[in-house]
A and B are shown apart, each in its own frame.
Chain A
Amino acid sequence: MSSAELHHHAQTSAPLPPHPEKATLEGRNKILGIWLLIGAETVLFACLFGTYLALRGSNMNGPTTEELFQIPMVAAATLILLTSSLTSVLGVVGMHQNNVKKVQLWFGITVLLGAAFLGLEIYEFIEYVHEGHTFTGSAFGSAFYTLIGTHGSHVLFGITWISSLMIQVARRGLTLETTPKLFVASLYWHFVDVVWVFIFTVVYLMGKVG
């Protein structure tokens, strides 16, 4: 579909096709592109996980994983991020119903939950530093903060991305141009949640059982 047609589509607000994110070649390419990104990011995180697993015992007389990690805080962070994964997919359902209000509501909740997760993570890092677990303190500290910090920066990028898309949707509505962007952002957000599933399992829970 040409850009003139797209423009016409946006102006007349004609009903969107059932899967607007896959209706244009650009949209389909964006979806394939995000999956390629996810494949590459998987390898990035896998390397950080491997490094962490290799170095988690080298705590240089600092606090160990068992002393440091608090199960209730991790459970709260997990619940927040898991719920935000659901709200972003409900946003996509709203998009398929061509319902701007629903899209803005669910993606708005997703952004708020993402921000709450980040707040909790910052609080957690401050706590750990007070207990003597720092980035430069030990190999365990370096590997831990690199892994969790990389994930946290992905959350920060995700909430910035989704908020800017919400502004764009408020201005342009749901069009053949904006719907692929929302769809791709929600795929990225699920991926961030998938990485957290492995973080709470490998870092926190396996850190508790030793």
Chain B
Amino acid sequence: METNVQHQPNQSVSEDRSMKYVLSFVWMLLLTGASFAIVTMHLVPENMVIPALLILAMLQVLLQFFTFMHLDFKKSRLTAVFTFSGIAIGFICAIALWLIS
């Protein structure tokens, strides 16, 4: 059977993937650590704190989407379009509600 032949190489590919996941986890930890450090240690000027926090959060979310959630623009374009439409509409909703006050 074909699948039998593919079994061995598949296993080594998965091993490599684990390392990739652990590496992106380390990056997520660093980004999270940076966010907490900015707030507790006052590392950046006061008016830059909130933009810096939001950028770090966006980076971490993109990392989650493209590594942990296996999102791939080439292989699953439809999925990516749906997801980013949801994010775009969500962003508009959040900003609109915020500005009401």
A contact set with B: CB distance below 8 Å:
14-18, 31-32, 35-36, 38-43, 45-47, 49-51, 53-55, 57, 71, 75, 78-79, 82-83, 85-86, 89-90, 93, 96-98, 187, 190-191, 193-194, 197-198, 200-202, 205-206, 208-209
B contact set with A: CB distance below 8 Å:
1, 3-4, 6-7, 10-11, 13-14, 17-18, 21-22, 25, 28-29, 32, 35-36, 38-40, 46, 49-50, 53-54, 56-57, 60-61, 64-65, 67-69, 78-79, 82-83, 85-87, 89-91, 93-101
Please measure, in the bound complex, the distance between the C-alpha atom of A39 and the C-alpha atom of B87, giving whole angstroms.
Answer: 7
B13 to chain A, nearest CB (A): 8
CB-CB < 8 A to A209: which residues of B? 39, 46, 49-50, 53
B53→A205 contact, CB < 8 A:
yes
- Interchain CB contact (< 8 A) of B68 among A49, A83, A85, A202: A85
- With A35-B82, A201-B54, A205-B53 in contact, do A86 and B21 touch (Cβ < 8 Å)? yes
B25→A200 contact, CB < 8 A:
no
Please measure, in the bound complex, the distance between the C-alpha atom of A205 and the C-alpha atom of B32, giving whole angstroms.
Answer: 11
Please measure, in the bound complex, the distance between the C-alpha atom of A194 and the C-alpha atom of B32, giving whole angstroms.
Answer: 12
Please measure, in the bound complex, the distance between the C-alpha atom of A42 and the C-alpha atom of B85, giving whole angstroms.
Answer: 10
CB-CB < 8 A to A90: which residues of B? 18, 21
B82→A39 contact, CB < 8 A:
yes
A53→B98 contact, CB < 8 A:
yes
Q: Which residue of chain A has its CB nearest to the CB of B95? A: A50
B79→A35 contact, CB < 8 A:
yes
